[in-house]
Amino acid sequence: MNVLLIGSGGREHALAYKIHQSPLLSRLFIAPGNGGTGSLGENVALAVNNHAAVIEFCGAQKIDLVVIGPEAPLVAGLSDQLREAGFDVFGPNKRAAQLEGSKAFTKELCDEMNIPTAKYAHFETLEPALTYVKAQGTPIVIKADGLAAGKGVSVALNLGEAENALKNCFSGSFGAAGSSVIIEEFMEGEEVSFFAISDGEKFITLASAQDHKRALDGDKGPNTGGMGAYSPAPVMTPDLIAKVEKEIIAPTISGLAQRGIPFHGVLYAGLILTKEGPKLIEYNARFGDPECQVLMMRLKSDLLEILLASARGDLSGIVARWHEDAALCVVLAANGYPESYETGQLIEGIERAENPGAKVFHAGTRYKNERLLSTGGRVLNITATGKTISEAQQRAYLAVKEIVWPEGYFRTDIGWRAIKEKQT
């Protein structure tokens, strides 16, 4: 079978790594791919936002399955157009991708289906929003509705911060995404990432994982796309998993189906484990990055078989099996990320880092004349396995030491929460 994988991050390198292992695979294309995916398939310079060009490529290369990694093409309706042209696609259609693209859409679904989430209100002008914040008090959470590259959320600790955040949104700092604002109750508790793959009706749950969103050690500094992850997340007990499936995932999938919007793809729930139980922070319509990297290291089953079953609308008989070993991923990012940073820097030491049990997934990289250069903010994802999270952590940091890239930085405490929980 021929597969086209769309995307260029560490998530896509990890997906390519697993798809490449499948006995079902004939040819793998990655558009546009990165310095790592080129050794697993053919990187192709397709303009992914030109849907007609993607469809033409799929016809010419006899593609049997398109796997869409990032959210932007989903929200832009690439799945819809590929399906109309007769191709199987892993990734929800435009309407279902509103789960990620529109916070207001998700909140309405939560209301309708009784899904536990933060209490909220929705505003389109500044004055009523300010009045609401004053009545509710702080801490309170202000969110630009729509895709704001992860930067549209402020946890305001006092009224001044809340006012600044609101003015920022309404003054157009996030473009169209900020013209509509959600104000949410602040939820207190540990955050986890929860993934389910759906065929529109049924779903299978993936292994548990936790991310580290802040840039610096001790969960300090600005929010990022994710600086490291591990799986399993010890805090996710079987009881909690069952509760999340029943109270959050199942009503979401069925609520969408009732609206005539079947969800074919991976549903990524960002959760907070509050004293009253797990609550939804937000949905994404794609795999988490770097959570995907640790999940792919632990997945025993044939990924391609699972993706195909979801795309074709029948997951019956499909189970995801996992290696017992834990996996942990450390992200190497360019100095300055998530704000401004430089690209085009030389990176060395990948082969030395890939000792048994450790794998280097590329994110923002490319090869030029056989030299590996940085091309983005998050650049490498050093991922290792081990009998315990501590062992995976040790192996990952040993591998990190082998990488020579003076202009990069990483957190030194990935996994701290899981390791602390084990010790207490």
Q: Tell me which of 288, 364, 377, 408 binds ligand GLY, using CB under 6 A.
A: 288
Draw the binding track, 290-329, toward ligand GLY (x: CB under 6 A; -: no contact).
-x--------------------------------------
- Alpha-carbon distance 295 to 10, whole Å? 12
Q: Residue type at 185?
A: E
Question: Residue 293: phi, psi to the nearest 5?
Answer: -65, -45
- What are the residues facing 321 on neighbouring strands? none
CA-CA distances (angstroms) from residue 258 to 198, 200, 254?
15, 10, 6
- Alpha-carbon distance 414 to 412, whole Å? 6
Are 157 and 122 in contact by the 8 Å Cβ rule? The answer is no
289 sits near ligand GLY (criterion: CB under 6 A): yes
Q: Is 417 left (phi over 0), alpha (psi -120 to 50) or beta?
A: alpha
CA-CA distances (angstroms) from residue 287 to 121, 152, 269, 424?
28, 20, 10, 31
386 sits near ligand GLY (criterion: CB under 6 A): no
Give the tokens for residue 125: 């002008």
Nearer Cβ to ligand GLY, position 166 or 192?
A: 192
Nearer Cβ to ligand GLY, position 200 or 228?
A: 228
Exposure class string for 180-208: b at 16+ Cβ within 10 A, else e: bbbbbeebeeebbbbbbbbbbbbbbbbbb
- Alpha-carbon distance 362 to 190, whole Å? 29
Q: Which does 187 bind (CB under 5 to 8 A by kind): ligand AMP, ligand GLY, none?
A: ligand AMP
- Alpha-carbon distance 235 to 271, whole Å? 12
Residues near 419 by beta carbon (within 8 Å), at least 6 away in sequence: 389, 390, 393
- Alpha-carbon distance 126 to 136, whole Å? 15
Q: Which does 204 bind (CB under 5 to 8 A by kind): ligand GLY, ligand AMP, none?
A: none
Q: Which does 155 bind (CB under 5 to 8 A by kind): ligand AMP, ligand GLY, none?
A: ligand AMP
Draw the binding track, 298-337, toward ligand AMP (x: CB under 6 A; -: no contact).
----------------------------------------
Q: Which does 141 bind (CB under 5 to 8 A by kind): ligand AMP, ligand GLY, none?
A: ligand AMP
CB of 4 to ligand AMP, least distance (A): 29
State the Rg of the chain over Cα: 21
Instruction: Find the residue with minimal CB distance to ligand GLY.
Output: 226
Q: Tell me which of 12, 80, 184, 199 binds ligand AMP, using CB under 6 A.
A: 184
- Alpha-carbon distance 105 to 109, whole Å? 6
Q: Which does 282 bind (CB under 5 to 8 A by kind): ligand GLY, ligand AMP, none?
A: ligand AMP
Q: Which does 281 bind (CB under 5 to 8 A by kind): ligand GLY, ligand AMP, none?
A: ligand AMP
**Region binding ligand AMP by CB under 6 A among candidate stretches 106-114, 147-155, 243-251, 407-415:** 147-155
Report the site for ligand GLY in 201-230 (rule: CB under 6 A): 211, 225-226
CB of 284 to ligand GLY, least distance (A): 6
Cα angle, residue 41 at apex, residues 37 and 47 outer, rounded to 5°: 75
**Region binding ligand GLY by CB under 6 A among candidate stretches 125-133, 281-289, 302-310, 369-377:** 281-289
Q: Tell me which of 141, 241, 329, 399 binds ligand AMP, using CB under 6 A.
A: 141
Q: Tell me which of 2, 21, 223, 388 binds ligand AMP, using CB under 6 A.
A: 223
Give the tokens for residue 239: 């009881």
118 sits near ligand AMP (criterion: CB under 6 A): yes
Report the site for ligand AMP in 229-268 (rule: CB under 6 A): none
187 sits near ligand AMP (criterion: CB under 6 A): yes
Binding site for ligand GLY (CB under 6 A): 211, 225-226, 284, 288-289, 291
Binding site for ligand AMP (CB under 6 A): 118, 141, 150, 153, 155, 184, 186-187, 191, 213, 223, 270, 281-282
